Every structure is written in C-alpha cells, then in structure tokens.
C-alpha cells in the first residue's frame, strides 16, 4: 500500500498516536506524518504510507491554514486551554471590531517567534516539552515565520472579564498559532491564550478532502498517488535515456531538462508518467541534482 492519506485528525490524539493507529488499521509499518499537530488540535494531517514516506520532507515545507479562537484575560503555561493559568487580568476595556481588525493587520508579514515551552521543538536533541515537564530552563531557539493572512471571523464576545473571538490564519512552515494568540493579547494589553484550533489546510490539502478514522476502518477512503500529492510541484517529463541517468543519480545538464527550472525543486517523471525524483538546480555544480529518488 503506497500513497498519501489525508486524515482529519481527531482531538485527544498526538500525531504519533495517529501514525500508530494507521499502521494497525491498514496493517503496514511504513507510515509517517508530515507535521506535528498538538493533541488539542484537530484537522488536516497528511500521512504518508509505503513508498510515499519519501515525500515527508517535501510536504512538511508547505504553508498551513487554521481557524482558531483566542481568549483574552488570562494566559497559561502551554499557551492553550490545556495549561495551568499563569496570569489573569480581567478585560475592562470594550474593544470595537475595528480595533481588533487593526491589531490583526499589524501582525501580517515576517516576524521572529519564540516557540512555546510546551512544544516539540528540539534543543540539544531533546523536545522542549520534556524540559518543561522536568522543570529545566533552556534557551529556546527563535525562528523567523511569516503570517500571510490573519482575519477576524464572526462576532467579538466580551463578558465576565474575558474577550473571545475567532480568527483565520494562513502562515508559513513552523509558525505557532498558540504564540500568535498570546501576541494578539499582548498587543491588546492583556494576557491571552489560544482556546480552540483547527487546521483547515496544509499546502494544497484541504479539510474537506480528509477522512476520519471511522472511514478508514470502514475501508471507504482513497490514497493520493505520489503524483497527486505533488500536484503543486513543477513537473518535467524526460525521455528514456535521461530516465536512466536519473535512476543512476547522474547530474543532469540544461539540454536534458525542458523546460529549464532553476528556482526551486521540481518533479521529474518518465514518459509513462512514473514519478522518478525531486530535482533542483545546483549553482555550484552547474547542473540539476537529485534531492530524492521516488522509485
């Protein structure tokens, strides 16, 4: 069994839990997910099976989209609703829709983000949440992330000292939406946390195309082929002679690739449409080199 399974991950399970369950239900060991989703988050989780596990590194680089909810008025240890309260300050100011929208617009673009203490980011080979649980202080690595879209959804709810509203966000690889929620609160002048989150898209994979574990167990699901999973990659079809060079890992020259693609990775297929490899232009070697064979 080979292909990409688009799973609608349920809440209460880690991404690793989902991989283990897929292995058990489908009776196959070669399974890997393409990006960690926290246990409290549901939504799109592409899972690679069989030979499609070769795609994991390429699918994890995709942008992500979420629908989330921020609760302003108190912060937590985990930056989401599962953590213990850290700071509480009732929201006394009445915020208008225009003020909230202006705050969200101010967060667009590229910024530096520090991952939450309770996250799977590794420091010296160990995940941050393991340090946090052990009460060990470590320096968290900052990362550059980009927010492409951030918009208010629905009404603003303000009562009992809390301010709540939903938002839709489209961000780069590695962006922490929990931290986005905390930053929203900071910009409004209050502690905050992310109180709800659903991933609605990962690259070209949409929530409406995902299946549940119930459907998987019932056998009513379809795996995406490698070509379908890489549908957003530029594609070059080569003749039989170049196919042999690709399979042998030989550097390719300009005359062997048409159209020429010198910016980013692309998919090479054989004349019979078989995916062969992911290639990219290497300026130093002055040729096209294989990043990953797919046969």
User: Taking 90 as the threshold, does the pLDDT of residue 265 lie above it?
Assistant: yes
Q: pLDDT tens, 63-72? A: 999 999 999 9
Q: Give the domain CATH number at 252.
A: 2.30.130.10
Residues paired with 150 in a beta bridge: 169
Output the pLDDT for position 287: 93
Question: What mean pLDDT comes out for the span 73-85?
Answer: 92
Query: Confidence band (pLDDT; 50, 70, 90) for 281?
Result: very high
17 contact partners, CB below 8 Å, separation of at least 6: none
Q: Are residues 240 and 162 in the same domain?
A: no
Q: Are residues 39 and 166 in the same domain?
A: no
Output the pLDDT for position 122: 78
Q: pLDDT tens, 221-257? A: 999 999 999 998 999 999 999 999 999 999 999 889 9
Q: Are residues 92 and 116 in the same domain?
A: yes
Asked if residues 191 and 88 have their Cβ atoms less than 8 Å apart, the reply is: yes
CA pair distance 235, 119, nearest whole angstrom: 36
DSSP summary character for residue 115: P
Residue-range definition of the domain harbouring residue 208? 3-62+204-229
CA pair distance 244, 241, nearest whole angstrom: 5
95 contact partners, CB below 8 Å, separation of at least 6: 156, 158, 163, 188
Q: Are residues 88 and 187 in the same domain?
A: yes
The pTM is what? 0.88
Asked if residues 48 and 4 have their Cβ atoms less than 8 Å apart, the reply is: yes
What sign has the CA pseudo-torsion 94, 97, 99, 100? positive
Q: Are residues 184 and 70 in the same domain?
A: yes
Q: Are residues 163 and 280 in the same domain?
A: no
Q: Are residues 87 and 186 in the same domain?
A: yes
Q: Are residues 28 and 110 in the same domain?
A: no
Q: pLDDT tens, 27-64? A: 999 999 987 888 899 999 999 999 999 999 888 878 99
Q: Are residues 48 and 69 in the same domain?
A: no
Does the bond joining 221 to the residue before it have cis omega, within 30 degrees of 0? no
What sign has the CA pseudo-torsion 221, 224, 225, 228? positive
Asked if residues 146 and 174 have their Cβ atoms less than 8 Å apart, the reply is: no
The answer to which of 32-41, 146-155, 177-186 has the lowest mean pLDDT is: 32-41
Output the pLDDT for position 245: 95
Q: Give the rounded percent of residues in the chain with a pLDDT score beyond 70.
A: 99
Query: Confidence band (pLDDT; 50, 70, 90) for 197?
Result: very high
Q: Are residues 142 and 194 in the same domain?
A: yes
4 contact partners, CB below 8 Å, separation of at least 6: 46, 47, 48, 49, 52, 55, 59, 223, 224, 226, 228, 229
Residues paired with 198 in a beta bridge: 42, 67
Q: How far is CA 150 from the centre of its chain?
A: 16
Which tokens is 73 given? Answer: 């008025």
Catalytic residues: 38
Number of domains in the chain: 3
With b for 16 or more beta-carbon neighbours within 10 A and e for fewer, the 76-90 pattern comes to bebbbeebeeeeeee
Q: Are residues 91 and 173 in the same domain?
A: yes
* CB count in 10 Å sphere of residue 166: 17
3-state secondary structure (DSSP) of residue 280: strand
Q: Are residues 54 and 85 in the same domain?
A: no
Output the pLDDT for position 139: 82
CA pair distance 113, 117, nearest whole angstrom: 12
CA pair distance 224, 272, nearest whole angstrom: 18
Q: Give the domain CATH number at 44.
A: 3.30.2350.10
> Tokens 């409290």 map to which residue?
40
User: Taking 80 as the threshold, does the pLDDT of residue 115 lie above it?
Assistant: no
Q: pLDDT higher for 173 or 275?
A: 275
């Amino acid at each position: 069994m080979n292909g990409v399974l688009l799973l609608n991950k349920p809440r209460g399970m880690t991404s690793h839990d989902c991989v283990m369950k897929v292995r058990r239900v489908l009776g196959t060991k070669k399974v890997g997910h393409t990006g960690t989703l926290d246990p409290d988050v549901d939504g799109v989780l592409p899972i690679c099976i069989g030979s499609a596990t070769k795609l994991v590194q390429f699918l994890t680089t995709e942008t992500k989209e979420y629908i989330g909810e921020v609760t302003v008025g108190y912060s937590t240890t985990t930056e989401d609703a599962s953590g213990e309260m850290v700071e509480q300050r009732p929201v006394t100011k009445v915020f208008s829709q225009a003020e909230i929208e202006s705050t969200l617009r101010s967060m667009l673009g590229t910024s530096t983000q520090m991952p939450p203490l309770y996250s799977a980011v590794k420091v010296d080979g160990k995940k941050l949440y393991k340090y946090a649980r052990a009460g060990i202080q470590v320096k968290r690595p900052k990362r550059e992330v980009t927010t492409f879209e951030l918009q208010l959804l629905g009404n603003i709810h303000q009562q009992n000292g809390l301010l709540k509203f939903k938002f839709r966000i489209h961000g780069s690889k590695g962006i922490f939406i929990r931290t986005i929620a905390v930053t929203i609160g900071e910009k409004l002048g209050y502690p905050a946390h992310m109180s709800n989150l659903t991933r609605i898209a990962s690259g070209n994979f949409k929530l409406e195309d995902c299946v549940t574990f119930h459907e998987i167990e019932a056998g009513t699901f379809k795996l995406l082929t490698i070509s379908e999973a890489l549908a957003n990659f530029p594609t070059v079809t080569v003749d039989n002679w170049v196919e042999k060079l690709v399979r042998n890992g030989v550097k390719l020259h300009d005359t062997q690739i048409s159209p020429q693609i010198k910016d980013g990775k692309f998919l090479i297929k054989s004349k019979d449409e078989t995916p062969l490899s992911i290639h990219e232009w290497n300026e130093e070697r002055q040729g096209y080199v294989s990043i990953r064979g797919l046969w």
